[in-house]
Amino acid sequence: MNVTDWYPIQFKPILKEKIWGGQQLKTFLSKTDQDLPFGESWEIADLSNGQSIITNGALEGKTLGEVMSAFAKAVLGASVVERFGEKFPLLIKYIDAADDLSVQLHPDDILAEQLHNGKGKTEMWYILKAEPGAQLIIGFDGEMTPEKFDASVANGTVNDNLQYLDVKAGDSFFISAGLIHAIGKGIVLAEIQQTSDITYRVFDYNRKQPDGSLRDLHIDHARKALNYTNPDDYILEHNPTTIGAQVLKHCPFFKTDITLLDHTPYTIDRTDSFTVLMMVAGEMVCTHQGEAYHLSLGETLLIPADCTSVSIEGVDAKFLEVYL
């Protein structure tokens, strides 16, 4: 494997069937032509149960894990490798919730290491599409204590104590480790998260899987991870009509800006970190060394740290720019 000139990298989506999945990854984001209940499209993944495969350029056919093993500093940037190691530190997804996802939460790095020898999961969401009346669950509605939580689990009233938020396209939210949450039905969103697939289900509506069984709950682990107090930073504000880049969320695990283009070219030229572009509206063209990469709604591009001076053009195109 040899790369002399780094370039923007594209991947084949990894589609995950889910009990709550629908058809929006096919009809809205054009990820597949299969009529299956896909709930997630893993756009960039470096996990044992999901390895992104490169679809363009000199690295075509290689997995992200293979490329990270050989070229971690060139892809991530030396400072990112120093902080996060040689595994790609983020999992990039699109999610289609045709039905309610389970009420759940995720551990932080310390607990995930102790219990699973893995990474924690802090994440953020950007809403691409929401049916009228669609809601998210984020945090508790009112005061919560360990004793009150245990009682609500025992008597099946967890949902009565949760905070429900109406949402629309363009809304964005930050879900820190330990924050109880759920994506409601009728929502399509972009998700940026730590490279982790650890979830603690607290309530799953008593629905049955195709074989008639109920999905496992993880109450004991959830008690250890749960934040009983709602944080004050879960709603991410931005002006949807502002031209140029705005900060959505900068945290220790990722930095995400949202950018709206007009007729002025936009340049990505950072060398200390990779950059992920997620198209959330319109179309745009990224150009590097004369090669054009066309992106439309729902498409994703990875710009390695050693790939500099990528020019972006588009009118009324909007994208998430993710880096470290």
Catalytic residues: 201
- Two tokens at 56? 């363009």
Amino acid at 194: Q
DSSP state of 203: E
Could you give the C-alpha distances from 155 to 72, 160, 223, in angstroms and in order? 49, 11, 16
Alpha-carbon distance 24 to 21, whole Å? 9
Half-sphere exposure of 142 (CA within 13 A, CB side): 6
Collect all residues with Cβ–Cβ distance below 8 Å to 225 and sequence separation of at least 6.
105, 106, 107, 108, 111, 177, 178, 200
Q: What does each C-alpha distance from 221 to 116, 161, 193 come to in angstroms?
A: 11, 19, 20
Of 81, 93, 100, 84, the closest CA to residue 21 belongs to 100
Q: Which helix (H) or strand (E) holds 259?
A: strand 254-260
d(CA 225, CA 215): 20
**Is 238 annotated as contributing to ligand binding?**
no
As a residue count, the chain comes to: 324
299 is in an annotated binding site: no
User: Taking a C-beta distance cutoff of 8 angstroms, is the pair 109, 83 a contact?
Assistant: no
43: annotated binding-site residue? Answer: no
Whole-Å CA distances, 160 to 36, 78, 164: 32, 47, 10
**Annotated binding-site positions:** 106, 123, 181
**Annotated binding-site positions for Zn(2+):** 106, 123, 181
